[in-house]
Amino acid sequence: MIQPILPGATLGVLGSGQLGRMFAIAARRMGYRVHTLSPDEDTPTGQVADLEIQAPYDDLDAVRRFASGVSVVTFEFENVPAATAQAASEHAPVRPAGRVLHTTQHRIREKTFLQQAGFPLTPFRTVETAEDLEKAVKALGAPAILKTADFGYDGKGQARVESAEEAEAAWTSIGRAPAVLEQFIPFECEVSVVAARGADGACVDWGVIENQHRRHILDVSLAPARINAETAGRAKEIAHSVLEALDVIGVLCVEFFVEPGGRLLINELAPRPHNSGHLTVDASATSQFEQQLRAVCGLPLGSTELLRPAAMANLLGDLWADGEPDWPAALKCPQVKLHLYGKMEPRPGRKMGHMTALAADVETALDVVLHARDAAARVG
């Protein structure tokens, strides 16, 4: 039995972006202290943490000193090196465990794990040589999607292969690094299930969330997803099974493609709170960030009841192209909540914040949040 880590303790976060920021806010509200470590300074997490430590992830002595000053270590993005998680675990429990990070931060390991465990996923082949690539295209056909095994997110490290003749150029465009070739899926929609698993093995989820992307970056999320109850039930069952198979203590997101007829295929996993779950801060009895806190501290999990239908719209750096967005105009919509991440430099495609709107139904919530974002963009 895991001894609960009670309020007043100090929690460690590896990584310092907006996910860590929202985790730290939830932790501070419940009476915990938060330390964060990353290579950067004046970070979204560091701005609200009690202590911000600037050190490279491969400075393992710094990581050990960091871990020795906290009661538990968690992470807010999956590209923390496995050696970093191992060094931290010498001085404090790491949750989710480093083995979860090791599996999910590498597409070949992740997909191999899912395939061997019998989960439904997009057909794929591993590509490490030009011969592998040729065989993969023959097996899966074209079009197909080529993705680097490491460090891919928001469409980075991906190339579309329209024909066998284009495959070599596509691989060159992503650096000829180890990769996976995935069969192109003509899906009806993309959905995610953000779920949490406690130290006692209890699993909860926030239902199925519908996601819409623009330029490979999440643009809008809707809860509940506009899919039938049978498909939604299967998605939740699969997500719970993935958490159990990985022995996760914490929060994990399972992203799915929904094919015509309701067939589900796992696209990828994220072993942490997820962009599509940001709406839970305003729309749910317990947010994904408070739930991460409860899970890694060995506390009972909170209710995931959806209080009202909700829509979340990402705010990318593009919104700042003509200057500071018109926040007063956006906030004339009284149902809208604004969340900014404290990032100083807006760049195209960079996630600077999000807005959430609650309404009687998801269609109304979507209209409201998009109207508010459009209003913010009208800067004189």
In a domain, 295, yes or no: yes
Q: Which two tokens stand for residue 316?
A: 């990318």
- Flag whether 265 is in a domain: yes
Same domain, 244 and 168: no
pLDDT at position 380:
45
Same domain, 194 and 149: no
Show the tokens assigned to 24: 């730290």
Spatial separation of the C-alpha atoms in residues 49 and 11, rounded to whole Å: 10
Check if the beta carbon of residue 35 is closer than 8 Å to that of residue 11. Answer: yes
- 277 with 129, same domain: the answer is no
Could you say which of 183, 205, 235 is where a domain stops? 183
Same domain for 215 and 339, yes or no, is yes
- Say if 270 falls within a structural domain: yes
Q: How far apart are alpha carbons 352 and 85 in whole angstroms? A: 27
For residues 253 and 243, what is the distance between their CA atoms, to the nearest angstrom?
9
Amino acid at 319: L
| 131 falls within a domain | yes
> What pLDDT was estimated at residue 154?
56
Boundary of a domain, candidates 94, 113, 139: 94
Rounded to whole angstroms, the Cα distance separating 46 from 37 reads 8
Torsion of CA 352, 275, 349, 78, to 10 degrees: 100
107, part of any domain: no
pTM: 0.95
Average pLDDT over the chain, rounded to whole? 95
Domain match, 234 and 327 both? yes
Query: Does residue 300 have a cis peptide bond before it, meaning omega lies within 30 degrees of 0?
Result: no
CA 254, CA 194: separation in Å to the nearest integer? 6
> Is 2 a domain residue?
no
The values of phi and psi at residue 343, to 5°, are -85, 130
Closest CA to 221 of 210, 237, 208, 207: 210
Q: What is the pLDDT of residue 20?
A: 98
Q: How far apart are CA 46 and CA 39, in angstroms?
A: 11
Could you tell me if 242 and 252 are in contact, meaning their C-beta atoms sit under 8 angstroms apart?
A: yes
Contact 250, 96 (CB under 8 A): yes
Helices 107-116 and 229-246 meet at what angle, rounded to 10?
Answer: 110
- Predicted confidence at residue 164, as pLDDT, reads 87
Range of the domain at 328: 189-377
Domain boundary among 141, 160, 183: 183
Locate 341 and state its tokens.
């991440």
pLDDT value of position 158: 86
State the pLDDT at residue 317. 97
Neighbours of 62 (CB within 10 A): 17
Is residue 3 assigned to a domain?
Answer: no
260 shares its domain with 235: yes
Strand partners, 191: 210, 256
User: What CATH number does the domain containing 48 carry?
Assistant: 3.40.50.20
Q: Are residues 169 and 208 in the same domain?
A: no
Given a contact cutoff of 8 angstroms between Cβ atoms, the answer to whether 97 and 75 are in contact is: no
The DSSP string of 142-206 is SSEEEEESBS--TTTTEEEE-SGGGHHHHHHHTTT-SEEEEE----SEEEEEEEEE-TTS-EEEE
| CATH code of the domain covering residue 137 | 3.30.1490.20
Residue 150 within a domain: yes
Residues of the chain with pLDDT under 50: 379-380
8 C-beta neighbours (distance < 10 Å), count = 10
Number of separate domains in the chain: 3
DSSP string, 83-134: HHHHHHHTTS-BSS-HHHHHHHTBHHHHHHHHHHTT--B--EEEESSHHHHH
What does each C-alpha distance from 17 to 21, 44, 275, 278, 309 come to in angstroms?
A: 6, 5, 12, 14, 27
